[in-house]
Amino acid sequence: MKIEILEDNGSSINFALKDSTPAYANALRRIATNHVSSFAIDRVTFYENTSPMFDEYIAHRIGLIPIHTPNDGYSETDEILFTLEATGPKTVYSRELETSDKEVKVENGDIPLIKLSAGQRVRIDGKAVLGSGIKHAKFQPALVTYDQVGDREFNFYIESFGQMPPKEIINKAFAKIKEEIKEVVKQAKKL
């Protein structure tokens, strides 16, 4: 199996996977999409919300904001606190979410969350946790597609949502495949 980088602009990557099978190409796509862990705000507590928007609507929007996910040093039991306090009139943007950990932060600060009129106020805490796309789509780190261009050749396109670079996503996906294969071999030896 060989990989040839066709294009890499930092936020997306296009590469050729050669001498592979459709089953392996699809496994790589599915694992990169659903099994590479990333941070997302999962639980939101509202202390004050005088806006016309329901708490659930705002919580859903906050949960979909890409959160920078460092390569290592965090586990699925870690919780990173984000706070937001805003008073209108103004448009509240994702950059206003303050983090308790400078390494785990909002990746794109230009996402509008809510528009507040004069006197309207929101005061919120959100907890970001590591999760995978199996749990919820907000944890998916990228869009991953491929086309079969030959008998045993596939062109992959990976566009990161911002949590981590696309090369890191694909490396984590390959590592996950290797880990899963080791587990299958281990279980097969017990038969």
Question: Could you give the CA distance from residue 39 to residue 65 in angstroms, rounded to a whole number?
Answer: 10
Question: Could you give the CA distance from residue 132 to residue 112 in angstroms, rounded to a whole number?
Answer: 25
Q: Decide: 67 and 160 in contact? Cβ < 8 Å.
A: no
Question: Could you give the CA distance from residue 136 to residue 29 in angstroms, rounded to a whole number?
Answer: 17
Question: Could you give the CA distance from residue 27 to residue 111 in angstroms, rounded to a whole number?
Answer: 32
CATH of domain 39-132: 2.170.120.12
Q: Going residue by residue through the chain (191 aa), what tens digit of pLDDT does each one get?
A: 899 999 999 999 999 999 999 999 999 999 999 999 999 999 999 999 999 999 999 999 999 999 999 998 999 999 999 999 999 999 999 999 999 999 999 999 999 999 999 999 999 999 999 999 999 999 999 999 999 999 999 999 999 999 999 999 999 999 999 999 999 999 999 98
Give the global pTM.
0.90
Q: Decide: 81 and 45 in contact? Cβ < 8 Å.
A: no
Domain ranges of the chain: 2-36+141-189, 39-132
Residue with tokens 């390494």, as numbered in its chain? 103
What SS3 state is found at 114? strand
pLDDT of residue 9: 95
Fold designation for 2-36+141-189: Gyrase A; domain 2 (3.30.1360)
Residue with tokens 């299958």, as numbered in its chain? 184
